[in-house]
Structure 1
Amino acid sequence: MIGNKTRVLLLLSFLVSAAMLPAHAQQEREDINADRPDRSQGPGIVSRGFVQLEAGYNYQKLNDAIRTHAYPTALLRIGLLEGVELRLQGAIKDSVIENGTSRRIKGWGPLSVGTKVKLWKESGWRPEAALSAMLALPLGSDVFKPDNAEPQFSLGFSNAISEKLDLTYNLGYGWTGGNPEFSYGANITRQFIDRLSLYLEVFGDKGRGEPAEHQADLGLLFLLLPNLQFDLAAGRRLNKAAPRRFVTTGLAFRFPR
């Protein structure tokens, strides 16, 4: 059988190869706008008629005892109408628990389906805005899937501070493990050259009856082609309740139309 890591390499190879194909005459010329790897997902929408795949690997060390791996994490975005996209999200998860001895818990994470809808465009100080709604379905491995369908809602905003500096932020509310949870994220992204951008981000969440968790990360976005972007990010906790640190990397690819 093909291992999970081999599947990741095959997926990344496919994305790079497909991106090299000549685009159809209707291919849009604007650069790709991805929702990974940052947590402050902005209001960007995949244009009507286009399909975009965002996939990668995520490692997280929660504490001295627990580390989690997810590969590939995948988000499929389909432009249904102008300003409306369909979203499908899932991951293969592999948790390593070290408590004297090690044991692995592998399986499919829950499948989430939903949409993102543009609310309005940026005008002066008014930010561009979009509403995202996702539903985590009780599908996947027993250890990872929720007992019931769990909705997640998020309002994403962005402001162009200058030609090469952008501010993105969001507010979210949903359910995790049957309990309501608030979340937030904010990042500032600076373009240094035509193809390279860096961002600094803070984000967190607060579940009912649980302490708030706050984290920060630094990320790199490199545009290999107008429709293919590579990313790398690393972060750490800002308070003791949050996971200790994480690293993520991946690709975002918009299929030619």
Structure 2
Amino acid sequence: MNKYNWLKHSLLLTVVLMILTANVFSQKLNTDRPDQSDGAGVIEKGKIQLESSVYFTVVDENKRSVVSSNLVRYGLIDNFEVRVLAEQGHHRDLFIEETAQSQYPLAVSAKWSLLRDKKSLPDISLVGYLQVPVTSGTQSSIWSPAVLLIVEKQWEPFTLTLNTGARQEAFSKDWDLQATADLKFDLGEHWQVFGEYFAQFSKVLPFHNVDAGVLYYLNRKWMVHASAGTSLAHHPHNYFINSGFAVQIN
């Protein structure tokens, strides 16, 4: 398949899913995209959700990547979901090695809600990833894990989400510390905007980044989004734009 054909297929899938899942708007969809912070919420038991984004990233003047990041979430039991993450596309390995908005080419994941819906306390969850080293690429991958603590608190119309944890790199045995801080603001029932800081702290140099974006909730099962971000004081400097959707299938 031509490396850009999947974009046309993604657009077709988007239209089909939108028709199949159209419903009266009642509440915002619980998503982990498009920002780099995993939210504390988990999918309801028996529900399936797809979250898909396409990143166009300029790593430096001569290097660009176009990568689709897709997350499938399934509510296995109350307060616990299992997930599959796939990041594939043009110059995928460059995207994963040289940016902080990447994770793994292919990974299994799980999220556990430890505390939620306590009025005076934040929601708290744990999320873990394990890279599955079976995808093709220019470099050899390993069984790399990542574990993050999620703390989230809402003060309407604001929601603050913090992530912190450790991640082993996709193509080496080195570890990074990760941290994110995301602030969302509700603009009525359908619109939401966010601004975010996210960073990786390795044994070499810290990698600081910021991004911002807008989310539009079409109904209670469907959301579309667009965002942009950039590295800060990092060489090589990189920046990206990102668009995509989330849909609850059942």
**Interval containing the TM-score (normalised by the shorter chain):** 0.7 to 0.9
Q: 2:243 corresponds to which residue? A: 249
Q: 2:95 corresponds to which residue? A: none
Name the CA distance, whole Å, in 2 between partners of 1:179 and 1:38.
24
The question of whether the paired residues in 1 share the 8 Å contact of 2:69 and 2:86 is answered with yes
Shift, 1:89, TM fit: 0.7
Question: Matched residue pairs, number?
Answer: 238
5 Å-filtered alignment, 1:1-257, equals 2-21=1-20, 30-70=27-67, 72-95=68-91, 110-146=105-141, 148-162=142-156, 164-176=157-169, 177-208=172-203, 210-241=204-235, 243-256=237-250
Q: Identity across aligned pairs (percent)?
A: 22
Residues 13-37 of structure 1 deviation map (CA, whole Å, 9 limit, x = unaligned): 323322323689xx99543111111
Shift, 1:122, TM fit: 4.2
Name the CA distance, whole Å, in 2 between partners of 1:17 and 1:203.
34
Letter in 1 for 2:80: V
Name the CA distance, whole Å, in 2 between partners of 1:65 and 1:22.
41
Shift, 1:125, TM fit: 4.1
Name the CA distance, whole Å, in 2 between partners of 1:179 and 1:234.
28
Name the CA distance, whole Å, in 2 between partners of 1:144 and 1:32.
37
The structure-2 alpha-carbon separation of the partners of 1:82 and 1:35, relative to structure 1 and needing over 3 Å to count, comes to same
SS in 2 for 1:20: helix
Residues 44-76 of structure 1 deviation map (CA, whole Å, 9 limit, x = unaligned): 111110100111211222223322220x22111
Structure 1: 5+ residue runs without aligned partners? Answer: 97-108
Shift, 1:126, TM fit: 2.1
Q: Which structure: larger Rg?
A: 1
Letter in 2 for 1:13: L
Letter in 2 for 1:37: P
Letter in 1 for 2:71: L
Letter in 1 for 2:57: Q
Name the CA distance, whole Å, in 1 between partners of 2:21 and 2:182.
34
The question of whether the paired residues in 2 share the 8 Å contact of 1:114 and 1:134 is answered with yes
The question of whether the paired residues in 2 share the 8 Å contact of 1:110 and 1:144 is answered with no
Please report the TM-score for the alignment, with normalisation by the length of structure 2: 0.87
The CA RMSD over aligned residues, in Å, is: 2.4
Please report the TM-score for the alignment, with normalisation by the length of structure 1: 0.85
Shift, 1:9, TM fit: 2.7
Residues 150-170 of structure 1 deviation map (CA, whole Å, 9 limit, x = unaligned): 0011111111122x1111111
Q: 1:106 corresponds to which residue? A: none
The structure-2 alpha-carbon separation of the partners of 1:124 and 1:152, relative to structure 1 and needing over 3 Å to count, comes to same
The structure-2 alpha-carbon separation of the partners of 1:12 and 1:167, relative to structure 1 and needing over 3 Å to count, comes to same
Shift, 1:145, TM fit: 4.7
The question of whether the paired residues in 2 share the 8 Å contact of 1:110 and 1:145 is answered with no
Structure 2: 5+ residue runs without aligned partners? Answer: 93-103
Deviates more, 1:2-11 or 1:134-143: 2-11
Name the CA distance, whole Å, in 2 between partners of 1:22 and 1:67.
34
The structure-2 alpha-carbon separation of the partners of 1:119 and 1:144, relative to structure 1 and needing over 3 Å to count, comes to farther
The question of whether the paired residues in 1 share the 8 Å contact of 2:28 and 2:189 is answered with no
The question of whether the paired residues in 2 share the 8 Å contact of 1:84 and 1:118 is answered with yes
